[in-house]
Amino acid sequence: MTEHSGIDCRIALVTGAAGGIGTAVVRALASRGAVVAAVDKDPAGLADLVEKSAADGLKAVAFPTDITDSTRIEETVERIESELGPIDLLVNAAGVMRSGSLVDMTDADWRAIFSTNLDGLFHSSRAVAARMRERGAGAIVTIASNAGRIPRMQMAAYGASKAAASLFTKSLGLELAEHGIRCNVVSPGSTDTEMLRSLWTTESGRQSTIDGSADAYRTGIPLRRIAEPGDIADAVVFLASDRARHITMQDLCVDGGAVLGV
């Protein structure tokens, strides 16, 4: 792979690219010289991302795709490699969250979470990893969540999907290690994105997240701040770079200490 200002990839594929963390990852990689294939099921969001990136001299190419459809993601990966070149890095940033009591959750809500957070992860990783294995090089980083590390009220399905995503990625890393491919996880805590803000029902939502809630058995954030998407992107860039060349099957928690190191 060609080294570009600290990131050792020429072509990167980022799923969930139109989301808050996904967009930050796209821009962080592109600013270090990578050409980024931006994948999301939101064409308008991708178009906005590509336009703003181009205005800043960054190269991102939109590939609208629903990763829950295995046929479509296979076709998209083939198209990316044909049009841009071999994929050096896959960042699985696509994810959905629906909160609520587990016993009141509908089948549709459950499937919506797992179809993206786990099925989509499998489809994207399988399509890219098969090609990386043939070349004997590459890196994969999955965005999970600190909700996959400890029980959270109203978050059973989301937390379970992210715990599964972490173990899936580590297992994939074990299978691919002999081919020189590293697979790691970044687990964000509360990050200033639309997903987090949708949980705030009052003006005190931000401060309540920082403070935690004894009634909900939720710790606060010891560093006393909400993460910015760029904080998560920086962790991804590190794990994708040659500085992490001997790191694989690890889960880096970026949550300001919210789960107390668990």
CA dihedral over 84, 88, 91, 94, signed as positive or negative: positive
Catalytic member of 9, 12, 145, 158: 158
**DSSP type of residue 142:** E
158 is catalytic: yes
pLDDT for residue 146 = 96
Residues 6 or more apart whose CB falls under 8 angstroms from that of 2 comprise: 8, 9, 10
pLDDT for residue 59 = 97
Q: What is the pLDDT of residues 59-83, one digit of tens each?
A: 999 999 999 999 999 999 999 999 9
pLDDT for residue 198 = 65
Q: How many Cβ atoms sit within 10 Å of the Cβ of residue 175?
A: 12
CA distances from 55 to 52, 58, 103 (A): 5, 7, 48
Burial track 144-165 (b if 16+ CB lie within 10 A, e otherwise): bbbbbbbebebbbbbbbbbbbb
For the chain, 262 residues long, give each residue's pLDDT as a single digit of tens. 334 445 667 999 999 999 999 999 999 999 999 999 999 999 999 999 999 999 999 999 999 999 999 999 999 999 999 999 999 999 999 999 998 999 999 999 999 999 999 999 999 999 999 999 999 999 999 999 999 999 999 999 999 999 999 999 999 999 999 999 999 999 998 888 776 566 656 667 777 777 777 888 888 999 999 899 999 999 999 999 999 999 999 999 999 999 999 8
Domains and CATH numbers, the chain: 11-254 (3.40.50.720)
pLDDT for residue 69 = 98
pTM for the full predicted model: 0.93
Q: What is the dihedral of CA 171, 172, 176, 181, to 10 degrees?
A: -120
pLDDT for residue 197 = 61
- Report the length, in residues, of the chain: 262
